[in-house]
Homo-oligomer: A and B are copies of this chain.
Amino acid sequence: MRMIVKKSKMTTGGPLIALIHDKDAKDLNLKSGDRVQITTKKDQIVCVIDVDKGNIIESGEILLFYETSRLVNDREVEISYYPKPKSIEYIKKKLKGVELEKEEIYEITKDIVQGNLTETELTYFVSANYIHEMSMNEVVATTNAMVETGERLIFNDNFVTADKHCIGGVAGNRTTPIVVPIVACAGVRMPKTSSRSITSPSGTADTMEVMCNVNIDIEKMKEIISKENGCLVWGGASQLAPADDKIIKIEHAMSLDPTGQLLASILAKKKSVSATHILIDIPWGKGAKIEEKAKALKLKKLFETLGRRLDMYIKVVLTSGVNPIGRGIGPALEAKDILYVLSNDSRAPKDLKEKSLEMAGEILEMAGKVGKGKGTQEARKILESGQAYNRFIHILRLQGLKNADPDKIAMAKYKEVILANKTGQVLSISNDLITKAARATGAPFDKAAGIFIHKQPNELVNQDEVIFSVYAESEDKLNVALEILKDKNLYKIK
């Protein structure tokens, strides 16, 4: 059937969808959710149809939503029925609890990336993977499929390419921007892609964005890495393992975090930048994402097994996840902390510096740059000599420097302080509550909002001395955050 093309700016969030009139749907024997092939002068595109019963378009017209409209330039197209993709059968198989073959997982992943599956079909897949937990074979196949269906960074030399990942849950724990320049100085390549925050007050990409541009495409990444041996960009700007974002979006609807998908997500991002040496940081302890050591060890084992299956050298370290790390929580405050550490400023939070050195040291040892047990020492030398700082500034410049002077990073308009309720030593600060409060200040969207910790765990404080400063861009946001910070479990002083 010939149809006149109409275009909508409305996006579907991924799937290729077009609207056709009820009368035409009946003539073509089509119902909502069926596929059609759109034949243009140059191309053939398959998309899912939705049936217009509200007279948005006339019979004989086809309305293309944004994702589909940008693929079509013709004013008229030919429309014909197209069968469901094979992926649907494979998803159904997984729903029935049958393990999928790697070819089947590849087919589903490819269809996710190409927008060939509706949100409903994708949700069935995510549900099935949640209920019938993925086998190790499936996790391996999913990781590889996610890599193969995206862009890749490939290097034609023998340098070691390393990467790191922290499973999160610790406020302020922004070690990556310190680790990258240190190991880069020592000759270890680190093409770091990071995420933006979803539920925390800042992701590494949000923090880096205070200092430089992070929307860097793959060509520019290559250029920066060839010069500086490392970069610090937002993973979403390139098409590295793009299936991942679409799956995560569906998981968030139900706040699901299925382990198999999580492992595949993490390692696909690493594999797509050709990293072979991966350090995984699992913070654990009371108030952390993982509270029990046994669970942390189980996850460690899964990562290690998966590393062997994927031909990657994976080292997993268990670290303390009980307290926040660093003084700043929120993009601007975290950027300041990073710059203090890198420039060896006296205001550098000691815990952030030491954890970064430990991480960098592990990577140097893994890459064989120093002997066992010598990593942290070597990392410290590179940091304290100022080399790492210089490298970081070079990277910022290549990415489009915005601000590298911590004293010139402005804070939000409204500020309030919180005073210690007694004299003594700070025992602990709740990661959960400080995260919630910092999020309420407007971080990460309001870059200059957040919470500054004046007194970290182990430090001494006097009653009525300032323990936290809270920054927000509006009084409303400030008040919501302050309300959360009233919680008596926020900190403990002995």
Contacts and interface: CB of A to CB of B under 8 A. Distances in A.
Interface in A34-75: 50, 53-56, 66
Contacts of A220: none
A131 B54 contact: no
Interface stretch (A87-95, A293-301, A452-460): A87-95
A124 B123 contact: yes
B92 A254 contact: yes
Contacts of A440: 29
A54 B9 contact: yes
Nearest to A22: B445
Given A27-B445, A32-B13, A439-B29, A124 B121 contact: no
Contacts of A119: 119-120, 123
Given A127-B95, A130-B95, A254 B54 contact: no
Interface in A250-275: 250, 252-256
Interface in A189-239: 198
A66 B54 contact: yes
Interface in A107-127: 118-121, 123-124, 127
Nearest to A32: B13
A119 B250 CA distance: 11
A10 B56 contact: yes
Contact of A88 (B66, B92, B250, B254): B254
A386 interface: no
A445 B127 contact: no
A253 B118 contact: yes
A320 interface: no
B123 A11 contact: no
Given A10-B56, A54-B11, A33 B252 contact: yes
A132 interface: yes
A26 interface: yes
A435 to B, nearest CB: 13
A139 interface: no
A252 B84 CA distance: 12
A411 B127 CA distance: 47
A128 interface: yes
A445 B249 CA distance: 38
A97 interface: yes
Interface string A448-473: 00000000000000000000000000
26 contacts: A9-B55, A9-B56, A10-B54, A11-B53, A27-B442, A27-B445, A29-B440, A29-B445, A31-B198, A33-B253, A54-B66, A88-B254, A92-B255, A92-B256, A95-B131, A119-B119, A119-B123, A120-B120, A120-B123, A120-B250, A120-B253, A123-B123, A123-B124, A124-B127, A124-B253, A127-B127
Interface of A: 9-11, 13, 26-27, 29, 31-33, 50, 53-56, 66, 88, 91-92, 95, 97, 118-121, 123-124, 127-128, 130-132, 198, 249-250, 252-256, 439-440, 442, 445
